Amino acid sequence: MDWTNKTILVTGGTGSFGKKFIRIMLDEYRPAKIIVFSRDELKQHEMRTTGGFNHPSIRYFIGDVRDKERLTLAMYGVDIVVHAAALKQVPACEYNPMEAIKTNILGSSNVVDAAIANSVSKVLALSTDKAVNPINLYGATKLAAEKLLIQSNAYAGGRQTRISCVRYGNVVGSRGSVVPLFIKQRPTGRVTITDKRMTRFWISLEQGVRFVINAIENMQGGEVFVPKIPSMRMVDLAQAMAPEAEIEIIGIRPGEKLHESLIGEDEARSTVELPNMYVVQPTDRMWFGHTWEEKGRHLPDGFTYTSENNQEWLDVEGINRIIATIEPEVKKEK
C-alpha cells in the first residue's frame, strides 16, 4: 500500500497512541496529509510547539467526535480514518456513564456517518480487551462501539467505505496506566496492586501502532483484528519496577476483572488464527471480510484467549527489559 498520496485523520490525535502513530507515519510512511482531530486546544498547541509535531503535512483540527457536523467537515477529502478518541478510564466512566456513552458509542456512530458521507476508503477503530464479556461501563461502551462499527459496513452499500476494528490489551506506559502510577509510588517504598492473582495482556505503544498500520493495509471491512501478545502477572510488574518496595494489596476495584479476555468462546467460532494474530470475521456472510479463512486456521471448540490461559508470558526479567525502553518516555510524558 502506498501511503504517500493518502490523507489520514486521527481522532484523539493528541493522545499517546495518536502521537506515536503520527510520528511513525511521518518518519517511515510520509503521507500527504495528517489531520489531528481532538477537542483540547492546549494539547494541540503543545504538540505543535514543544512536542516535535510542527510538520508541514500536519493539520490541527479542533473538534469533538460528539459533533457529527464538525466530523463531516473534517473528513472532506480524507482517505483513511484512525478512530482512537475515547473516554477510557474505568472509574471515570463508572461515575459519568452518559459521558462515556456519548463519546464512545454516539461518537463512534458519528465517525461512521461522517466517513460514509465523505466516501472515506478505510476506517480503523481501536477497541480493548475490556469489550469482551464486559463487567464495567467502559467495556460495555466499547463492545457497543465495536458492534456498531462492524455492522455499519452494511450501510456502505455500493460506496467504497470499509470499517474494521483492532482489539488489544493494556498499553505499556500509556497515560492513566499502571506503569506511570508505579513510577510515582516507587520513591515512597510502597506500591499498590488490587489483587495478587491479577493478570493482564501487555503490548507496547509501538507494537500497537504497527499492528494498526498492518490492519489498515490488509483490512477488507468487518474484521476485528486481535494481536498475539504476552500476559504478565501484576505482582511481577510491581516486583520488576520496584524490587525494594513493599507491595500492598488494596482490593479489587468496582468494574475490574481478575483476568482479561481478547476472544470469547462464542466469537471464536468465526475467528481465524494466523501466525501473529487472530481475525474475528463478521458473522453476517452477506458481505465482505471472509477470505481470511483461506489464510489461517479455524479455532477448536471451546477456545478462549484470556490473559490467564495465554501461552506466552513475561517474567520479571522480560518485564524489566521492556520497562527499560519505555520508562524515559513515560517520565517525559508527565
> pLDDT digits over 215-254, tens only?
999 999 999 999 999 999 999 999 999 998 999 999 988 7
pLDDT of 255: 79
In single-letter form, the type of residue at position 310 comes to: N
* pLDDT bracket for residue 332 (50, 70, 90): low
Residue pair 164/150 in contact (Cβ under 8 Å)? The answer is yes
pLDDT of 114: 97
pLDDT tens digit sequence for 280-295: 998 876 666 678 888 8
65-76 mean pLDDT: 98
64, pLDDT greater than 90:
yes
Contacting residues for 59 by C-beta, under 8 A, at least 6 apart? 33, 34, 35, 36
Between CA 165 and CA 221 the distance in angstroms is 9
Strand partners, 164: 124
pLDDT of 55: 95
Look at residue 228 and give its three-state secondary structure.
coil
Q: Is the pTM of this model over 0.85?
A: yes
What value does the mean pLDDT of the chain take? 92
pLDDT tens digit sequence for 130-166: 999 999 999 999 999 999 999 999 887 677 899 999 9
pLDDT tens digit sequence for 26-63: 999 999 999 999 999 999 999 999 989 999 999 999 99
pLDDT of 156: 74
Domain made up of 7-169+203-227+262-305: CATH architecture:
3-Layer(aba) Sandwich (3.40)
- Is 102 catalytic? The answer is no
331, pLDDT greater than 70:
no
Look at residue 181 and give its three-state secondary structure.
helix
334, pLDDT greater than 60:
no
Look-up of cell digits 505482582: 235
* pLDDT bracket for residue 328 (50, 70, 90): low
Q: What angle do helix axes 234-241 and 316-333 make, rounded to 10 degrees?
A: 70
170, pLDDT greater than 90:
no
330, pLDDT greater than 70:
no
pLDDT of 286: 62
CB-based contacts of 297-302 (< 8 A; 24+ apart in sequence): 297/272, 297/273, 298/271, 298/272, 298/273, 299/263, 299/268, 299/269, 299/271, 299/272, 299/273, 301/269, 302/265, 302/268
268-276 mean pLDDT: 95
Q: Count the helices and strands in the chain (H runs, E runs).
A: 12, 17
Considering the candidates 130, 142, 257, 334, report the single residue annotated as catalytic. 130
Between CA 27 and CA 10 the distance in angstroms is 17
68-73 mean pLDDT: 98
